[in-house]
């Protein structure tokens, strides 16, 4: 199974690109959705976060008041790191099980949409890595319009992530989403072709998944040879 990494900055257009993949029948594992699930009332993540941040972050119904927690963590790097640490294992195991479910259903290509793909080092699982890039002014404008936030809050959220310019240097494929939705669709068509074409043997061999499969195949091959020949296969006869 090929796991395509999809990342970018906040409001750079990852969900918009995810929706294009979904509309072509390619399933998307969305880290933001999983991060929401692991913070639902009564879950292990919720308990850890309430113990660390106090009951002031809760609404009257007991669910986490997300805008309030967001204001706390996006204006204080130490508190953000604490929240990241508390939820990291819950989020990564949630992602892992979603991938396993899709693999068991027989999907050959899936997309992993993770805003913090590089920050959490999850890019190692993915090939190729797509970065949805946008220029800083457009990013700020779209974020403020979508979330109806003040410039300062939007700026804090943008600055809480690795810069988009650095992310683009780590990408295999860059989608420039500064233009219109038609421009995005045009770029997406080429990306879709790239990610759905079969891996060449060289790409397969160079990918981590390919290298691991090759190693496992060699080990199995050696074991079979040893079984057949009855010797350990390494000693001179």
Ligand X SMILES: Nc1ncnc2c1ncn2[C@@H]1O[C@H](COP(=O)(O)OP(=O)(O)OP(=O)(O)O)[C@@H](O)[C@H]1O
For residue 177, state whether it binds ligand X (rule: CB under 6 A).
yes
Residue 161 binds which entry of ligand COD, ligand X, none, CB below 5-8 Å type-dependent: ligand COD
Hey, is 88 helix, strand or coil? helix
Residue 140 binds which entry of ligand X, ligand COD, none, CB below 5-8 Å type-dependent: none
x-or-dash pattern for ligand X, window 132-171, by CB under 6 A? ----------x---x-------------------------
Both tokens of residue 228?
């057949």
Residue 12 binds which entry of ligand COD, ligand X, none, CB below 5-8 Å type-dependent: ligand X
Q: Give the C-alpha distances (Å, rounded to integers) separating 27 from 30, 121, 187.
A: 10, 22, 19
Residue 67 binds which entry of ligand X, ligand COD, none, CB below 5-8 Å type-dependent: ligand COD
Torsion angle of the four alpha carbons 38, 104, 117, 71, in this order, in degrees rounded to the nearest 10: -20
- Judged by CB under 6 A, the residue of 3, 4, 5, 14 near ligand X is 14
Considering only 12-20, 46-54, 76-84, 119-127, which stretch makes contact with ligand X by CB under 6 A?
12-20
Considering only 83-91, 184-192, 193-201, 219-227, which stretch makes contact with ligand COD by CB under 6 A?
83-91
Place of tokens 């113990």: 51
What number of chain residues touch ligand X (CB under 6 A)?
A: 16
Which residues 79-138 are close enough to bind ligand X by CB under 6 A? 115
- State how far the Cα of 81 lies from the Cα of 160, in Å rounded to an integer: 10
Interface with ligand COD (CB under 6 A): 10, 31-32, 35, 39, 66-67, 69-70, 73, 80, 83-84, 87, 91, 114-116, 157, 160-161
């Amino acid at each position: 199974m090929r796991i395509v990494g999809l990342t970018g900055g906040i409001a750079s257009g990852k969900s918009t690109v995810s929706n294009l993949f979904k509309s072509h029948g390619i399933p998307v594992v969305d880290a933001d959705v999983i991060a929401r699930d692991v913070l639902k009332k009564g879950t292990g993540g919720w308990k850890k976060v309430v113990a660390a941040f106090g009951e002031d972050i809760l609404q009257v119904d007991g669910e986490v008041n997300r805008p309030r927690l967001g204001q706390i963590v996006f204006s204080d790097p130490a508190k953000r790191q604490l929240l990241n640490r508390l939820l990291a294992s819950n989020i990564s195991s949630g992602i892992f099980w979603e991938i396993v479910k899709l693999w068991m259903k027989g999907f050959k290509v899936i997309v992993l949409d993770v805003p913090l793909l590089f920050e959490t080092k999850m890019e190692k699982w993915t090939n190729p890595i797509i970065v949805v890039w946008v220029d800083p002014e457009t990013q700020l404008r779209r974020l403020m319009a979508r979330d109806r936030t003040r410039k300062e809050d939007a700026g804090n959220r943008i600055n809480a992530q690795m810069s988009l310019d650095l992310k683009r240097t780590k990408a295999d494929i860059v989608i420039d989403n500064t233009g219109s939705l038609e421009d995005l669709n045009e770029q997406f068509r080429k990306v879709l072709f790239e990610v759905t074409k079969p891996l060449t043997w060289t790409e397969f061999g160079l990918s981590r998944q390919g290298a691991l499969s090759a190693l496992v195949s060699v080990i199995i091959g050696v074991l079979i040879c040893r079984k057949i020949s009855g010797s350990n296969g390494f000693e001179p006869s």
